[in-house]
Amino acid sequence: MTTPAQSHAPLTLTPEQERRIDEILGRYPTRRAACLPTLHVCQEAVGWVSPAVVAYVSQRLGMAASEVQGVVTFYTMYHQAPVGKHVLWVCRTLSCDLRGGKTMQEHLEKRLGCHAGETTADGQWTLKKAECLAACGYAPMVQIDDRFYENLTPEKLDALMDRIERGEMPAQEETAWTPNQAS
């Protein structure tokens, strides 16, 4: 993973990452149509969409850098700055808020010692607020990295985060279909 100081150096991908991008490009009728998955491969490689990533994708797909940047700023799943080891999105749209989303965010800010949009001092967690993540029937929920955890309480969330900090990655099925007692 590159550091912010290295973010302006030309992007170098591994042969496997280059092969994945070649394979992605082969799926689409035009190169620019592959912009989203290509950005995902690069973000996975670098940890965020650095200026070097934008320059690489722009050159590789034949797009203006401003067009690539427009895509990056439109979709919230692309990180526009370095993030921690884990990214936790707390949903703050209506269904989640009615069932404790705000309490969940306040609990997280206290536990992590940072506000939404910030990364913990130890670099373990980046806390972000999300708009509806399409799991409203299981509110309140959060997304940690690429997994959804649903029907949460602050206690359930603490237990999940404790396990993640110990190196586990709980299956998202563990919290699906298990309404909390307060419901």
Positions touching ligand FES (CB under 6 A) are: 91, 93-96, 132-136, 139, 141
* Shorter beta-carbon distance to ligand FES: residue 68 or 139: 139
CB of 93: closest distance to ligand FES in angstroms? 4
* Shorter beta-carbon distance to ligand FES: residue 106 or 165: 106
Largest CA distance in the chain: 54
* Shorter beta-carbon distance to ligand FES: residue 54 or 96: 96
CB of 75: closest distance to ligand FES in angstroms? 17
* Shorter beta-carbon distance to ligand FES: residue 65 or 94: 94
CB of 148: closest distance to ligand FES in angstroms? 9
CB of 137: closest distance to ligand FES in angstroms? 8
CA distance 172 to 110: 24
